[in-house]
Amino acid sequence: MSEDTSSQHWRRARVLINSDALLNNLKRVRDYSPNAQVMAVIKANAYGHGMLHAATVLDSADMFAVAMPQEAFALRASGCTKPLLVLHGFNHVDELEKFSALNISAVIHQSKQLDMLIDSNLTLPVDAWLKVDTGMHRLGISENDAEHYFALLRNSSNVAKIYIMSHFANADERNNELNNKQLDRFIKVTNDIDVECSMANSAAIISMPKSHFEMVRPGIMLYGSSPFAGVTAEELGLQAAMQFEAELLAIKQLKAGDAVGYGSTFVADRDMTMGIVAAGYGDGYPRHAKNGTPVWINGHRCQLIGRVSMDSISIDLTGVKASVGDRVVLWGRELGIDEIAAASESIAYELMCNAGAAYFSIR
């Protein structure tokens, strides 16, 4: 666990990253996909876990993926020598030239990129990952164009190795019929081409072995969240890599009938003890967490009461032995992030990104 040493009295909510959990989760990826290489997805500051830290800890991954060129440049500047893929590819020639100089691979998902790549005069060729849209309808060229694009890439001296990839839209729903349709389309596109392929995100790594091909691309499972509603991270052998904690700021007594917080959305139906915790949506705690969302303190699961404020939340502390300054866990080892995400009508991806962004931005 990486500890916060900046202050003995660090009042703000803290994000602690458990390196052992990251390594455990990478091992789980290898267990699920023993014949594929692993491209660890560390975009969005490694889903809030700190990109450079995650890249150091996950050094045994075969490759890293980030969304934007600047993330890849930052990794290279920090000394990372691992193969890197930029999922958005490049939009400007200067970015492409930097890819070439820094040995960074690019996703090619639209014709503008293909033209730029072919027409450039690169010092060193780059690896190209041709992205085919098999049903997600986000980034990617159409299935019908794939063979033609592949041939153009193969004939370009600016291109080293070529891969073909696609991305699932609904892999987190095991029975969604689009999953197999997408896989079939991908197989149809790549069947007659001698090329290495990549398709599986975390959910597909676990539930669709036929989609593993040569390279899998895990994100969320590396950070210890379950990609499936109704299946816990623990059941999948995953461990929480992010611990989100804060301090108990105040303890107060409520009388029956007292309303709590903005909008007075919670009204005490009895006399209660209330705790105020020093974390709110400004720290990345989800603003839409409902009354009753669990919060852990001193071995107890307490309930959130009232609306989430910018820098505090209120919890029902009735019957709980607690003192001002006590450690409160918002999610982590003691409390699964997936449960908090469900209670907030959100997803663990968003919670991790927001907490990590708020925390790492002011350290």
Ligand X SMILES: Cc1ncc(COP(=O)(O)O)c(C=O)c1O
Binding residues for ligand X, per CB under 6 A? Answer: 41, 87, 167, 201-202, 217-220, 227
8 A C-beta contact, residue 224 and residue 242: yes
Candidate list 32, 43, 47, 285, residue with the active-site label: 43
> Is 262 one of the annotated active-site residues of the chain?
yes
Residue 44 or residue 152: which is nearer to ligand X going by CB? 44
> Could you write out the three-class secondary structure of 51-120?
HHHHHHHCCCCCEEEECCHHHHHHHHHCCCCCCEEECCCCCCHHHHHHHHHHCEEEEECCHHHHHHHHHC
> Using CB atoms, what's the residue nearest to ligand X?
219
CA distance 106 to 85: 6
Residue 206 or residue 277: which is nearer to ligand X going by CB? 206
Smallest distance, ligand X to C-beta of residue 160, A? 21
> Is 43 one of the annotated active-site residues of the chain?
yes
Residue 69 or residue 219: which is nearer to ligand X going by CB? 219
Candidate list 161, 210, 262, 321, residue with the active-site label: 262
CA distance 243 to 330: 8
Strand partners, 275: 251, 315
Smallest distance, ligand X to C-beta of residue 207, A? 12
8 A C-beta contact, residue 238 and residue 333: no
Strand partners, 277: 248, 313
Smallest distance, ligand X to C-beta of residue 204, A? 8
Residue from 171, 216, 177 nearest 35 by CA: 216
Residue 227 or residue 336: which is nearer to ligand X going by CB? 227
Backbone angles phi, psi at 148, to 5 degrees: -65, -45
Residue 41 or residue 240: which is nearer to ligand X going by CB? 41
Smallest distance, ligand X to C-beta of residue 359, A? 20
Smallest distance, ligand X to C-beta of residue 95, A? 18
Residue 331 or residue 349: which is nearer to ligand X going by CB? 349
Tell me the three state secondary structure of residue 275.
Answer: strand
Q: Which amino acid is it at 176?
A: N
Smallest distance, ligand X to C-beta of residue 109, A? 10
Q: Which residues contact 223 (CB under 8 A, 6 or more apart)?
A: 22, 25, 46, 47, 49, 240, 241, 242, 348, 352
CA distance 13 to 45: 18
Catalytically annotated residues: 43, 262
